[in-house]
A and B are shown apart, each in its own frame.
Chain A
Amino acid sequence: MNPESLSFIFLSAFLINNFVLALFLGLCPFVGVSAKRDTAFNMSLATAFVMFVSSTCAYAINLVLTHFDLEFLRLISYIALIASSVQLVEMVLKKFSPALFRALGIFLPLITTNCAILGVALFQTSRGYDFLQSVSFSLGAGAGFGLAIILMAGLREKLELSNLPNITQAAALSMMLAGILSLTFMGFAGLGTTA
């Protein structure tokens, strides 16, 4: 497959280099919000949306910054951009779906510190993607994040029913589970070279 093609970029961000399980981005919500499947689903939707918005805007901002030779401001402008898109999502949700807004609660503002979102913006810049490639990349990353967190939530819901030794409480077992999930995702590595 051509590593530059849109479908390959999508697939690569979605499965081969899954943002959570292969690149270790966005682990805070991955551990924190994966206790129930429906919260995990809502969280992944909100994250994917913020990812898409911020990556599209980051593309435009990067054009402007490169034009004026201001690359050293990139990080600061990206983070400000992400913070404002999160604020936007917060306002939209509050207006149109107060129930969902309450369900997400504390996790919504925390999307700002989700490294997966900044990761998307930074990677697309460093890899020199054009506009369509950036869009495809951010969609793939959002879908990959959703896939990982929902799989994890499903596993953890099953675990609640089982009798576990005391020491596996808290995050220890989640980490082990994530390790096994990550192992299975390594199987996708055969799909193509790292892009």
Chain B
Amino acid sequence: MSKSTQKEAPLTMDVFTAGIWKENPVFVMMLGLCPVLAVTNSVENSLAMGAASIFVLVCSNALVSALRNFIPKQVRITTYIIIIATFVTLVDYIIQAISLDLYNKLGAFIQLIVVNCLILGRAEAFASKNSFGKSVISALGMGLGFTLALVMLGGVRELLGAGQLLGYQIFSLNFEPWIVMILPPGGFIVLGSWLLLINYIEQRRTGKLIAEDAASHCTVSPTRSS
């Protein structure tokens, strides 16, 4: 995404591209980390998880945005969660119908999309305040950014951990796979390395860090009536 296209583009274009890089949900906002680390031991799993998340994100944000004037403020978080849970149940059954093999690989993490803070965070921070079209476009951008991050992690982990990409052998058979990359520690280390690299590039480019407050996490506002 070059700077010039963002300047000239209409508002909706900017809304779309923001999620892909400038406000990337994983690398910049540190949202929805659990699936990011848990299912990215291969590119295939990453893509499937990304697709499922995009579907839930777009549908739930669309519905939240469409209903934003009808949802009472006091129970909005609960309402959002129920809306998200409905779509996740749908995805859960759809994936079972398409490929049981994939479903078994992803395990409980499909159902755990419900508690992905990215989705609830976007519903609360964006969809509940913006028009239908804008919310859908923003959700699409965020979802693509999320998938991009998943694939960036999955690619590195599958390449180093198995010497393959999407199941095709990349390194020669003499390559000794780094098993640790497929195991849980690899997820943390690869994500940490990507963050370091991104910080480094960003610092070289602009002289300041891309994510000054990236350690702050899920942006659901705490105000709930109790």
- Residues of A near any B CB (own CB < 8 A): 21-29, 31-32, 35, 72, 75-76, 79-80, 83, 87, 90-91, 94, 105-106, 108-110, 112-115, 117-119, 122-123, 126, 166-176, 178-180, 182-183, 186
CB under 8 Å from chain A, chain B span 202-224 = 203, 209, 211-218, 220, 222, 224
A149 to chain B, nearest CB (A): 13
Residue of A nearest to B108 (CB): A122
Residue of B nearest to A32 (CB): B217
Contact B222–A175 (Cβ < 8 Å): no
How would residues 77 to 106 of chain B score, 1 for a CB under 8 Å from any chain A CB and 0 otherwise? 110011001101100110000000000000
Residue of B nearest to A25 (CB): B34
Contact B108–A123 (Cβ < 8 Å): yes
Contact A170–B212 (Cβ < 8 Å): yes
Which residues of chain B come closer than 8 Å to A26, judged between CB atoms? 34
Contact A75–B214 (Cβ < 8 Å): no
Contact B112–A119 (Cβ < 8 Å): yes
Which residue of the partner chain, among B192, B218, B222, contacts A28 with CB atoms under 8 Å?
A: B218
A167 to chain B, nearest CB (A): 4
The reply on B37 being an interface residue by CB < 8 A is: yes
Contact A75–B200 (Cβ < 8 Å): no
The reply on B30 being an interface residue by CB < 8 A is: yes
Which residues of chain A come closer than 8 Å to B114, judged between CB atoms? 75, 79, 118
Which residues of chain B come closer than 8 Å to A117, judged between CB atoms? 115
The reply on B111 being an interface residue by CB < 8 A is: yes
A89 to chain B, nearest CB (A): 10
A166 to B209: give the CA distance in the assembly, Å: 8
Known contacts A32-B215, A112-B115, A175-B195; can you find 5 more A-B pairs with CB under 8 A? A26-B34, A72-B89, A80-B82, A170-B214, A186-B184
Contact B120–A113 (Cβ < 8 Å): yes
How would residues 28 to 59 of chain B score, 1 for a CB under 8 Å from any chain A CB and 0 otherwise? 00110111011000000000000000000000
Which residue of the partner chain, among A27, A75, A80, A178, contacts B89 with CB atoms under 8 Å?
A: A75
Interface size on B, residues (CB 8 A): 54
The reply on B130 being an interface residue by CB < 8 A is: no
Contact A110–B220 (Cβ < 8 Å): yes
Which residue of the partner chain, among A23, A87, A126, A172, contacts B192 with CB atoms under 8 Å?
A: A172
Which residues of chain B come closer than 8 Å to A112, judged between CB atoms? 77, 81, 115
The reply on B166 being an interface residue by CB < 8 A is: no
CB under 8 Å from chain A, chain B span 168-210 = 180, 183-189, 191-193, 195-196, 199-200, 203, 209
Which residue of the partner chain, among B37, B88, B120, B189, contacts A24 with CB atoms under 8 Å?
A: B37
The reply on B117 being an interface residue by CB < 8 A is: yes
Which residues of chain B come closer than 8 Å to A175, judged between CB atoms? 188-189, 191-192, 195
Chain A to chain B contacts (Cβ below 8 Å), 30 pairs: A21-B184, A22-B184, A23-B184, A24-B34, A24-B187, A25-B34, A31-B33, A31-B215, A32-B215, A32-B216, A72-B89, A76-B86, A79-B114, A80-B82, A83-B81, A113-B116, A113-B220, A118-B112, A118-B115, A123-B108, A167-B200, A170-B213, A170-B215, A174-B192, A175-B195, A176-B189, A176-B192, A182-B184, A183-B180, A183-B185
The reply on B2 being an interface residue by CB < 8 A is: no
Which residues of chain A come closer than 8 Å to B81, judged between CB atoms? 79-80, 83, 112
Residue of B nearest to A106 (CB): B222
Which of B93, B185, B216 counts the most chain A CB atoms within 10 A?
B185
Q: Which 10 A-B pairs have the closest CB atoms?
A: A175-B192, A179-B188, A172-B195, A179-B189, A32-B217, A170-B214, A24-B38, A176-B192, A106-B222, A167-B199
| With A109-B222, A110-B220, A170-B212: A79-B112 Cβ-Cβ less than 8 Å | no
Which residues of chain A come closer than 8 Å to B77, judged between CB atoms? 83, 109, 112
Contact B183–A186 (Cβ < 8 Å): yes
